[in-house]
Amino acid sequence: MKPSTLEEAVALTQKFTSKPSNEELLKLYGLYKQATEGDNEGERPGGFDFKAAAKYNSWLAYKGKSKSEAAELYVELVGQLAEKYV
């Protein structure tokens, strides 16, 4: 069950029967944001909002990748995760 588009991959994540690890979820988040919005130009969250900071850093890790390249990586990652979680 390999997705071929970003939309198919997003739909497939809804069918996961168990939750991916935090590291996997952060990769999915960062790639999705890069694929849909491009480079992260926002302000880094401050204080003790560790969850927001982790998400910010995950998205920032893909800076410079084109939206289509990030979408391809997202689709590929979802395909790999589907083997474990669907």
Task: Tell me the CATH number at 37.
Answer: 1.20.80.10
**Total domains in the fold of the chain:** 1
Segment 14-24 mean pLDDT: 96
Q: What is the pLDDT of residue 8?
A: 97
Establish if 24 belongs to a structural domain.
yes
Establish if 1 belongs to a structural domain.
no
Q: What is the pLDDT of residue 47?
A: 82
| DSSP 8-state class, residue 57 | H
* Domain interval for residue 51: 6-85
Q: What is the pLDDT of residue 46?
A: 85
Establish if 67 belongs to a structural domain.
yes
Rounded to two decimals, the pTM is 0.94
Segment 31-54 mean pLDDT: 95
- In 3-state terms, what secondary structure has residue 43? coil
Burial 31-62, CB ≥16 within 10 A → b, else e: bbbbbeeebbeeeeeeeeeeeeebbbebbbeb
Spatial separation of the C-alpha atoms in residues 36 and 42, rounded to whole Å:
15
Segment 45-71 mean pLDDT: 96
